[in-house]
Structure 1
Amino acid sequence: MLKFVYNIRHYFEKRGFYVSSRLADRLGMRAKNVRLFFIYVSFATLGAGFALYLTVAFWLKLKDLIYTKRTSVFDL
């Protein structure tokens, strides 16, 4: 059972859009504290924290697509 939980945690940490770590870097905090904040907000607001997390992930992905640095004009 513990290995199953560890595998799920590893999967989401690896493919979780890096929202927590990017937000923590921006705010100068630990990613663990940002993750805990999203978890507590999700429980307190019955899922609105999860919706907030997905919204931030969407905006970060959109920002990455728009502001990618290209080395050449032909990289379009």
Structure 2
Amino acid sequence: MDKIRAFFEVHAFGVCTALGERLGIATTRIRMWFIYISFLTVGSPIIVYMILAFWLNMKRYITAARRNPLRDL
């Protein structure tokens, strides 16, 4: 069970961590609520999770491109 949890923590998009840091809530609590809500609503929060993951990935890409203006030279 620990190997599975470690795999998902390493390979996840970091949406729950970003929300936890931004809102000041423990990441484990956000993950548990996400799981509970996913079971109750038959997986519809997964769509919201993917949208947030895409947004976070684009945000990292844009900030990385701004940090290094000489990258294209």
Q: Write the distance in 1 (CA, Å) between the matches of 2:2 and 2:46.
A: 21
Pairs aligned (count): 71
Q: Write the distance in 2 (CA, Å) between the matches of 1:60 and 1:48.
A: 19
Identity %: 37
TM-score by length of 2: 0.85
Query: Which amino acid is the alignment partner of residue 67 of structure 2?
Result: R
Query: Are 1:7 and 2:39 counterparts?
Result: no
Task: Name the residue aligned to 1:70.
Answer: 67
Query: Which amino acid is the alignment partner of residue 70 of structure 1?
Result: R
Q: Write the distance in 1 (CA, Å) between the matches of 2:33 and 2:54.
A: 19
Query: Are 1:31 and 2:27 counterparts?
Result: yes
Aligned structure 1 segments of 4 or more residues deviating by more than 2 angstroms: none
TM-score by length of 1: 0.82
